[in-house]
A and B are shown apart, each in its own frame.
Chain A
Amino acid sequence: MVDLGGGVQAIDWLAVAPVLVVACAAVVVLLADAFAGPPRSRRQALVPAALTLAGVAAAAVPAVRLWGERRSTFCVGGVLEGPAACSFVVDPVTLVFWGVVLFGTAVVALLGTAAVAEGRTPQGEWNFLLLCSATGAMAIAASRDLVTLVVALEVVSLPAFAMVGLRRDDPRAAEASMKFFLVSVVSTAVMLMGVSLVYGATGSMFLTQVDQALVTGAGPREVAVAGALLTVVGLAFKVAAVPFHMWVPDTYVGAPVAVAAYLSVVSKAAGFVGLMLVLGLGLRDLAPVWAPLVAVLAALTMTVGNVLALGQQHAVRLLAWSSVAQAGYMLVPFAAVGAAGAAGSAGAAGSGAGGLEPLGASVGYLAIYAFVNLGAFAVAAVVGTRHPRQRLTDYRGLVREEPLAGWALVFALVALAGLPPGVVGLLAKVVVFSSVSSAVTWLAVVMAVNVAIGLVYYARWLVELFRPAEVPGRSTYDVPNGVGVAVGMTFAAGVVLSVFPGLLLDPVLAIF
């Protein structure tokens, strides 16, 4: 037997508390549902969602307590040489993602209550799977070794497959679930191949040690490059970057709106944080190789997403393509890492931030996108209660009939497009733009063109909102309370961030 230098790893319980609380909340929801039996009333059917919200709130407490701190735990001490190898690190990046995940989970749980009236989605299991998936998303943001990262990423996706197909007797949901499942499983296999090659080239699973091995040039570089490329491809499926996006529109349209919102925000954020950790922390030294590749992916993703969104008549499908395009904007700062890193790569090994500054823009964009995109999906859930077909023409007169939902959607669309009243969306685009404008000029130009294309379809939808309704004068929306709260939450968050953008952007841009 090997002597591993001491027994069990020391665990910093405060650092892992937010993840642990979400996982425990999942079990509580499951047990409560199992013991309570089938719900006898509408009110009782809302209990799982309430428990989910309580769990999210409870997880937020230690997360707030940790704000501004930097803690490492699950460390391997004394066995390995080189930089400290820890599996679990809480730093500002982790905390920002935790915030996004917790907010997103709360909003999605509220949106999920729209399905209560219909009685075709088992609420207990649905909320359990939501919390399990959120546990994975929380864990991935803190993971600093490839094993934990891959396992956590799988914990995000696997419950999501089931959530997509959970609505009973719905062939479209089943088909969406199957497509999502197959694409995701294949992408996981490709990513795992990449990870295994990275391990082979560097001899370690810990991102800090992988980085160290690449800087010192210990292993064969071509193997590391092949591993890096396969890993990028695998993760590109997860974040739905073109050309690995084909599952997105079908899955979003077939799934319930709440699940589509979850996939487009929390699941996508998990993919992004995985990409950011693997590329930024582990494979930083290979930035000259992967940065151009990611630049091409970003350009393709923006362009294809925006162009295909142009002709859509289906609101959720339009949001699906728009979220593909938005993923492209989020990828843009990655392209600048290599360029900025060229100057600072000499000191990169020692300092914590050699050339990674552009990634701050990506984190900021992701956080802002999360808030406004959830807002758009929340209103789509409201409209979906009356118009399950989700045609754009179904949104006519929304501003007059349901002023809160209508104006919330107006705000969300304006912010997604990056127009002035939605200051927060505009700022996010400016931040991303400035991160590459000097380093990778062609990409900045592509992005500017794309923002202009985006204006067209967002404006088309906005116009529908202000047109008179087909049957004017009466509101027949029966907005479930939970969905109403979700609309209000996202709207309020967007407005607050538009008035005080520094609240989010200042700390985020200072991370790297």
Chain B
Amino acid sequence: MPLWWPLLLSSLLFAIGVYGVLVRRNAVLVLMGVELMLNAVNLNLVAFDAYFRDVLHGGQTFALFVIVIAAAEIGLGLAIVLLVFRTHGQIDVDTMRELADREEPAVAER
């Protein structure tokens, strides 16, 4: 198999993930786009590992670690999404403007 096949697939997945991140308004859907990007990274890493026959298996090991990082991110991300939902009633990233720069900042309620 030519090495560029998996690499091109990875580029495609990455681009699709970028599109998802840019276009989606719901925070959970944005996270799905990020997952696609991370999967593209893993595909690259595994393909290169196989290509180099890396004695240290740097690519595969890193892919495993990326999966763990993604899981940790999602776990914390879920908590943050729920926190925002509790305080704002929705998780639309486009309508979050409370902190936006204004002449007279809103009074921080204490």
Query: Is A in direct contact with B (CB under 8 Å) within the complex?
Result: yes
Which residues of A come within 8 Å of B, CB atoms? Answer: 2, 4, 76, 79-80, 118, 146-147, 150-151, 154, 158, 161-162, 165, 169-172, 174-179, 181-182, 185-186, 188-190, 192-193, 195-197, 199-200, 203-205, 249-250, 253-254, 313-314, 317, 388-391
A178 touches B81 (CB 8 A): yes
* Per-position binary interface string of chain B over residues 22-41, scored 1 when its CB falls under 8 Å from any chain A CB and 0 otherwise: 00000100110010011011
Contact of A147 with B103 in the complex, beta carbons under 8 Å: no
Residues of B within 8 A of A185 (CB): 31, 34, 73, 77
Tell me whether A182 and B87 are in contact (CB under 8 A).
Answer: no
Are B103's CB and A313's CB within 8 A?
A: yes
**Complex A-B: 30 CB contacts under 8 Å:** A76-B56, A80-B55, A118-B110, A147-B62, A154-B73, A161-B76, A171-B87, A174-B80, A174-B83, A174-B84, A175-B99, A177-B83, A178-B27, A178-B80, A178-B96, A185-B34, A185-B73, A188-B73, A189-B38, A190-B37, A193-B40, A195-B62, A197-B44, A199-B44, A200-B7, A203-B54, A205-B62, A253-B105, A389-B105, A389-B107
A290 to chain B, nearest CB (A): 20
Q: Which residues of B contact A154 (CB under 8 A)?
A: 69, 72-73
B51 (CB) vs chain A CBs: closest residue? A200
Determine the distance from Cα of A199 to Cα of B86 in the docked complex, in whole angstroms.
42
B87 touches A170 (CB 8 A): yes
Q: Report whether over half of chain B's contact residues are helix, strand or loop; otherwise say mixed.
A: helix
From A205, which residue of chain B is reached at the shortest CB distance? B58
The 8 Å CB contact of A181, one of B56, B77, B100, B107, is B77
Residues of chain B lying within 8 A (CB to CB) of residue A176: 99
Q: Which A residue sits closest to B22, measured CB to CB?
A: A186
Decide: A161 near B99, CB < 8 A? Known: A4-B55, A170-B87, A178-B27. no
Tell whether, in the assembled complex, residue A79 and residue B56 are in contact, meaning their CB atoms are under 8 Å apart. yes
- Return the chain B residue nearest A197 by Cβ: B44
Point out the residues of chain A lying under 8 angstroms from B40, CB to CB: 193
- Find out whether the CB atom of A186 lies under 8 angstroms from the CB atom of B48: no
Closest to B39 in A: A189
A199 in contact with B58 given A161-B76, A175-B84 (CB within 8 Å) = yes
Q: What residue of chain A has the Cβ atom nearest to residue B91's Cβ?
A: A178
From 60 to 110 in chain B, residues with beta carbon under 8 angstroms from any chain A beta carbon are 61-62, 65-66, 69, 72-73, 76-77, 79-81, 83-84, 86-88, 91, 93, 96, 98-101, 103, 105, 107-108, 110
A254/B65 in contact, CB under 8 A = no
A200 to B30, CA, bound (A): 28
Most buried by A among B14, B52, B73, B99: B99
Q: How many residue pairs bridge A and B at CB < 8 Å? A: 145
In the complex, the answer to whether B96 meets A317 with C-beta atoms within 8 Å is: no
Q: Which residues of A contact B87 (CB under 8 A)?
A: 169-171, 174-175
Contacts of A196 in B (CB 8 A): 41, 44-45, 48, 59, 62
Whole-angstrom CA separation of A161 from B84 in the bound complex: 13
Contact yes or no, B58 A147, CB < 8 A: yes
B34 and A189 form a contact (CB under 8 A): yes
CA distance A190 to B66 in the complex (A): 13
B88 touches A171 (CB 8 A): yes
Q: Is A182 a contact of B27 with CB atoms below 8 Å?
A: yes
Q: Which residues of A contact B107 (CB under 8 A)?
A: 389
Question: Which B residues touch A174, using CB under 8 A?
Answer: 80, 83-84, 86-88
Besides A79-B56, A391-B105, 9 other A-B contacts (C-beta < 8 A)? A118-B110, A150-B62, A174-B87, A177-B80, A179-B93, A182-B27, A189-B17, A193-B37, A390-B105
Q: State how many angstroms separate the Cβ of B15 from the closest Cβ of chain A.
A: 11
Q: Which among B56, B65, B103 is the interface contact of A80 at CB below 8 angstroms? A: B56
A338 CB to closest chain B CB (Å) equals 27
Interchain CB contact under 8 A, A200 and B56: no
CB distance from B86 to the nearest CB of A (A): 8
Residues of the A chain whose Cβ atoms lie less than 8 Å from the Cβ of B93:
178-179, 182
CB-defined contacts of A195 to chain B, threshold 8 Å: 41, 62
Q: Which 7 residue pairs spanning A and B have beta carbons closest together?
A: A189-B37, A196-B44, A171-B87, A250-B99, A205-B58, A200-B48, A388-B108
With the chains together, A161 CA to B98 CA distance in Å? Answer: 18
Could you tell me the distance between the alpha carbons of A391 and B87 in the complex, rounded to whole angstroms?
25
B108 & A199 in contact (Cβ 8 Å cutoff): no
Task: State A88–B45 Cα separation when bound (angstroms).
Answer: 22
Q: Distance in Å from the Cβ of A214 to the closest Cβ of chain B? A: 15
Q: How far apart are A135's CB and chain B's nearest CB, in angstroms?
A: 14
* Chain A residues with CB under 8 A of B72: 154, 158
Q: How far does the alpha carbon of A170 sit from the alpha carbon of B108 in the complex, in Å?
A: 9
A181 proximity list for chain B (CB < 8 A): 76-77, 80
CA A179 – CA B99 in complex, angstroms? 10
- Minimal beta-carbon separation of B35 from chain A (angstroms): 9
- The distance in angstroms between the C-alpha atoms of A172 and B101, with both chains bound, is 13
- Is B84 in contact with A178, judged by CB distance below 8 angstroms? yes
Known: A161-B76, A389-B105. A147 touches B65 (CB 8 A): yes
A172 touches B98 (CB 8 A): yes
Chain B residues with CB under 8 Å of A253's CB are: 99, 105
Residues of chain B contacted by A390 (CB below 8 angstroms): 105
Min CB–CB distance B92 → chain A (angstroms):
11
Of the candidates B47, B48, B56, B66, the one whose C-beta lies within 8 Å of that of A192 is B66
Residues of B contacting A147 in the complex (Cβ-Cβ under 8 angstroms):
58, 61-62, 65
**B59 and A193 form a contact (CB under 8 A):** no
